[in-house]
């Protein structure tokens, strides 16, 4: 995608429901009418947002998709270290399922035949990796991530990091390989080469500026971001962290030199520089916020 302009839609707000709807409504070219849509949240654990996707954000996405006349809605996820079923219960997702009428795919319950293998020359993965066929073959895919640092090698956990939840944790060698690697950021980016979401929404109402992914230093970022470009979205998220003040790995590393971002750009997954990112807003407050982020991106 290098050389193209990637749009990041920004809403400055502390209201997740309003912000989610406004951000998604701005994204150009989305069409979910009569489609079976999979929604992939961030349910690594059931810890409070920004550790995991807030239920208000999830509800707003499902209701918006229903208004867009999606034929069928499915939440699909794999947690870890906790069992996915336990995280779903603790977060009240089965109750939401009863209320909103969506399906649930628990990746823990998949067998090897339910996965598709991905490998290509130059990957940092020894023998590639696998992701669920339902993701690769989805008619439409909506990702929703949090805005946070990652204290165990990933540096950041945003839209690119969300893909780790597609790779199985139990009974397969992939997670030990990832967690032992000194190229964790690069390997995270490479998972994203195996699939493409229609849009990713980032809940940045609150953010971890240090620590993460389950606990950390919480600051009020008061922003909702959305984009079709996962790289541009994470670059914008990093600019938010720099704006608020974050840990040394964030503050002292140029945004496009971060491992996940740099490798994703090499793979052609998104914007390669600040010049290729355009913020789209609808109000004065959001425009001012976007101008601050653009300034950070340009200077970095």
- As a whole number, the mean pLDDT across the chain is 97
* Structural domain range at position 143: 6-299
Token pair 């407050």 is at which residue? 285
Supply the DSSP symbol for 254: -
3-class state of residue 136 by DSSP: helix
Q: How many domains does the chain have?
A: 1
- CA nearest to 84, candidates 159, 148, 168, 176: 168
Q: What's the average model confidence in pLDDT over 25-30?
A: 98
Q: Checking phi first, is residue 155 left (phi over 0); if not, alpha (psi -120 to 50) or beta?
A: left
Beta bridge partners of 143: 40, 200
In the chain, the N- to C-terminal Cα span, in Å, equals 21
Instruction: Compute CA 159 distance to the chain's CA centroid, rounded to the nearest angstrom.
Output: 2
Task: Give the model's pLDDT for residue 27.
Answer: 98
Note whether 38 and 132 are within 8 A (CB).
no
Provide the pLDDT confidence category of residue 152 given band limits of 50, 70 and 90.
confident
**pLDDT (tens digit per residue) in 163-216:** 999 999 999 999 999 999 999 999 999 999 999 999 999 999 999 999 999 999
**pLDDT (tens digit per residue) in 230-277:** 999 999 999 999 999 999 999 999 999 999 999 999 999 999 999 999
What is d(CA 77, CA 79) in angstroms, rounded to the nearest whole number?
Answer: 7
Percent of the chain beyond pLDDT 70? Answer: 99
- CA nearest to 208, candidates 21, 11, 52: 52
pTM of the model: 0.97
Instruction: Compute CA 253 distance to the chain's CA centroid, rounded to the nearest angstrom.
Output: 21
SS (H, E, C) 96-110: HHHHHCCEEEEHHHC
- CA nearest to 78, candidates 147, 153, 166: 166
What is d(CA 251, CA 31) in angstroms, rounded to the nearest whole number?
Answer: 38
Note whether 50 and 148 are within 8 A (CB).
yes
Provide the pLDDT confidence category of residue 2 given band limits of 50, 70 and 90.
low
What is d(CA 199, CA 243) in angstroms, rounded to the nearest whole number?
Answer: 24
Tell me the CATH number at 90.
3.40.50
Cis amide bond preceding 50, omega within 30 = yes
Task: Give the model's pLDDT for residue 288.
Answer: 98
Surface-to-core class of residue 19, CB atoms within 10 Å of its CB (0-12 exposed, 13-18 middle, 19+ buried): buried
Q: What's the average model confidence in pLDDT over 40-58?
A: 98
CB atoms within 10 A of CB 291: 12
Instruction: Compute CA 285 distance to the chain's CA centroid, rounded to the nearest angstrom.
Output: 24
pLDDT beyond 70 at 1? no
Note whether 84 and 78 are within 8 A (CB).
yes
pLDDT beyond 70 at 21? yes
Tokens of 247: 């840990």
1 domain-assigned:
no
195 domain-assigned:
yes
pLDDT beyond 90 at 223? yes
What is d(CA 246, CA 230) in angstroms, rounded to the nearest whole number?
Answer: 21
Task: Give the model's pLDDT for residue 300.
Answer: 86
């Amino acid at each position: 995608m290098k050389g193209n302009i990637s749009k990041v839609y920004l809403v400055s707000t502390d209201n997740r429901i309003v912000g989610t709807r406004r951000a998604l409504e701005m994204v150009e070219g989305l069409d979910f009418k009569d489609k079976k849509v999979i929604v992939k949240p961030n349910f690594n654990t059931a810890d409070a947002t920004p550790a995991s996707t807030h239920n208000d954000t999830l509800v707003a996405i499902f209701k918006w998709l229903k208004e867009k006349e999606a034929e069928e809605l499915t939440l699909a996820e794999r947690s870890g270290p906790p069992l996915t079923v336990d995280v779903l219960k603790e977060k009240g997702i089965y109750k939401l399922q009863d209320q909103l009428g969506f399906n649930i795919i628990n990746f823990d319950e998949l067998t090897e035949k339910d996965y598709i293998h991905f490998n290509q020359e130059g990957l940092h993965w020894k023998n590639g990796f696998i992701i669920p066929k339902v993701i690769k073959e989805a008619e439409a895919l909506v990702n929703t991530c949090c805005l946070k640092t990652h204290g165990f090698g990933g540096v950041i956990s945003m839209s690119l990091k969300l893909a780790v939840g597609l790779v199985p944790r139990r009974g397969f060698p992939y997670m030990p390989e990832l967690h032992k690697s000194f190229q964790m950021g690069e390997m995270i980016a490479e998972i994203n080469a195996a699939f493409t979401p229609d849009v990713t929404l980032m809940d940045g109402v609150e953010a971890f500026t240090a620590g993460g992914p389950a606990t950390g230093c919480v600051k009020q970022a008061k922003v909702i971001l959305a984009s079709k470009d996962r790289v541009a979205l994470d670059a914008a998220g990093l600019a938010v962290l720099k704006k608020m003040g974050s840990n040394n790995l964030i503050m002292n590393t140029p945004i496009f030199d971060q491992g996940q971002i740099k490798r994703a750009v090499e793979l052609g997954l998104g914007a390669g520089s600040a010049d290729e990112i355009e913020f789209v807003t609808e109000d004065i407050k959001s425009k001012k916020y976007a101008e601050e982020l653009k300034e950070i991106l340009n200077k970095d």
